[in-house]
Amino acid sequence: MSKLIMWNIITLDGYFEGERNWDLSFHDAIWGPELEKLSIEQLGSADALIFGRVTYDGMSAHWKTATGEIARLMNDIPKFIFSRTLKSVDWNNATLVHGNASEEISKLKKRGNSELYLFGSADLSETFINDNQFDELRIGVAPVILGSGRPLFRSKGVLPKKLTLISTQQLSTGGAILKYKTEV
């Protein structure tokens, strides 16, 4: 059975994007050789990637024309796009998923034997957190205080959840990677 892993980068004050969709300029503060290596390792171990509609739109627009090892992996890996509004998807190896998100992700987890990664997708993440679908949360903390933006965990949307710290990794950029196991 596959593990469902959330992977997101946030600022120290908890924002995963700025005031506008795809305002990710703070990612430059954490990016470096260690995060590049981790990204390649995660993508190499993935059964599939999971996206909500907004994240799919931005990711597909960027990665379809990008080059390099990460771009190759992003384009080759199977992707499942959870959306109630999209009628079709056109990114290589992408499949549109309708229906109850937690029921559908349970089916995908049962089909695999490695890791499913959910990137971005705060609304979909909220659903999976509240329905106990995540096996692990991996959070990259950028050494930035943004002051405003879109928080990864909304104050009134996510139910309280106990986590167990698995590991921490300090990065040469001043950022850190925190890995947590979820408890049911």
Q: What is the pLDDT of residues 16-51, one digit of tens each?
A: 999 998 899 999 999 999 999 999 999 999 999 999
Model confidence at 155: pLDDT above 80: no
Give the confidence band of 67 by pLDDT, cuts at 50, 70, 90: very high
Give the confidence band of 14 by pLDDT, cuts at 50, 70, 90: very high
CB contact set of 54 (below 8 Å; sequence gap of 6+): 21, 120, 121, 123
C-alpha distances (whole Å) from 101 to each of 76, 84, 120, 134, 137 are 23, 10, 16, 12, 18
CA–CA separation, 177 and 167 (whole Å): 8
Sign of CA dihedral 166, 106, 86, 78: positive
In this prediction, residue 113 carries a pLDDT of 87
Domains for the chain: give ranges and CATH numbers: 3-182 (3.40.430.10)
Structure token digits, residue 152: 């990864």
Model confidence at 66: pLDDT above 80: yes
In this prediction, residue 5 carries a pLDDT of 98
Mean pLDDT over 118-135 rounds to: 94
In this prediction, residue 157 carries a pLDDT of 76
Nearest to residue 43, comparing CAs of 88, 11, 75? 75
In this prediction, residue 184 carries a pLDDT of 66
Model confidence at 156: pLDDT above 70: yes
